[in-house]
Amino acid sequence: MAQQSTLASFFSGIPEKRKSDSQSESKAKYEQKRKPRVFIESWRKEFDGIEDSPDRMICSFCTKFPLLADKTSSLFTGNTGYRIDSVHSHFSSEKHEQCSKANYEVQRRENEEHFEGPIDVAIRKISEKNSKLLVYMFNTAYCVMKEELPFTLYPTMLKLQVKNGSDLSRLKSYQTDKACARFAPFIADAIRDPIKEKIENCKALSIMYDGATDVSISEVEIIYVRLLDDCNTSDFFIAFKS
């Protein structure tokens, strides 16, 4: 028979439970009864950089700079215990302080780069106005090319728009026939690039070509491509080939 450790256990006939076992049972019962720990919203103001997700909380500063951070910290890997002592321990650590300083420096540089002074604002407003005028000029150049008109007609068409109330007279350097010619490759790219993307992304296509003669009576081949575009059959002009 096992030796009894106390008189009470001797007379009762029941062996006394070990103290460690009793403490473990009490702790287990407490863990079962207590409410699940959750993220406290006030921590956001108290601990700058703390963030919460549906299942864990992290320190955004430390995850942003992993080379400086303590990768063993639960606030780096994702803390699911939501204990205030863990939060205090992390935010008072030297590694976190380094990450916090690095984050501050990045934000300071970004703010300096995006700061607009009075001159910056004035230049931006002028650029926005000129951009709208350039759109009108590009549209006019496109009309000249689509209708196969001579580039020399482009300045006359702009003058007509100025007479009708447009402010196109501001950009003198873009009102010549040479400026119209310079617009041509940019307009071509704007038309060609979306078609190129559709061709690259389609699963099936067919090529069509037809013979024709140009204004110089030269034999050329007109090449088209047919493909499915948003479940609709579409035909696109690709090129002339002599």
Question: Is 0.85 surpassed by the pTM of this model?
Answer: no
Average pLDDT of the chain, as a whole number: 80
Last residue of a domain, one of 89, 114, 139: 114
pLDDT at residue 109 is higher than 90: no
Structural domain containing residue 242: 202-242
pLDDT at residue 42 is higher than 60: yes
Contacts of 124 (CB under 8 A, 6+ apart): 116
Query: What pLDDT is stored for residue 153 in this prediction?
Result: 94
CA distance linking residue 165 with residue 167, whole number of Å:
7
Rounded mean pLDDT of 212-235? 78
Query: What pLDDT is stored for residue 237 in this prediction?
Result: 84
190 to 22, 23, 157, 186, 213: CA distances (angstroms): 78, 76, 22, 6, 27
Query: What pLDDT is stored for residue 23 in this prediction?
Result: 63
Query: Would you say residue 189 lies in a domain?
Result: no
Query: What pLDDT is stored for residue 157 in this prediction?
Result: 93
Rounded mean pLDDT of 90-116? 83
Query: Would you say residue 10 lies in a domain?
Result: no
Of residues 223 and 125, which shows the higher confidence score?
Answer: 223
Query: Would you say residue 133 lies in a domain?
Result: no
Q: Is 78 left (phi over 0), alpha (psi -120 to 50) or beta?
A: left
> E strands along 110-231, which residues?
205-213, 219-229
Contacts of 15 (CB under 8 A, 6+ apart): 2, 4, 5, 9
**Number of domains within the chain:** 2
* Local confidence band at 95 (pLDDT 50, 70, 90 cut-offs): very high
| Residue (of 65, 59, 62) closest to 46 by Cα position | 59
Query: Would you say residue 65 lies in a domain?
Result: yes
How many percent of the chain have pLDDT more than 70? 77
Rounded mean pLDDT of 132-148? 90
Query: Would you say residue 90 lies in a domain?
Result: yes
pLDDT at residue 149 is higher than 90: yes
**Residue 25 has which token pair?**
């049972």
pLDDT at residue 4 is higher than 60: no
Query: Would you say residue 181 lies in a domain?
Result: no
pLDDT digits (tens, 9 = 90+) for 69-81: 999 999 999 998 8
* Local confidence band at 11 (pLDDT 50, 70, 90 cut-offs): low
CA distance linking residue 25 with residue 15, whole number of Å:
17
145 to 152, 153, 194: CA distances (angstroms): 11, 11, 19
Last residue of a domain, one of 114, 132, 157: 114
Query: Would you say residue 25 lies in a domain?
Result: no
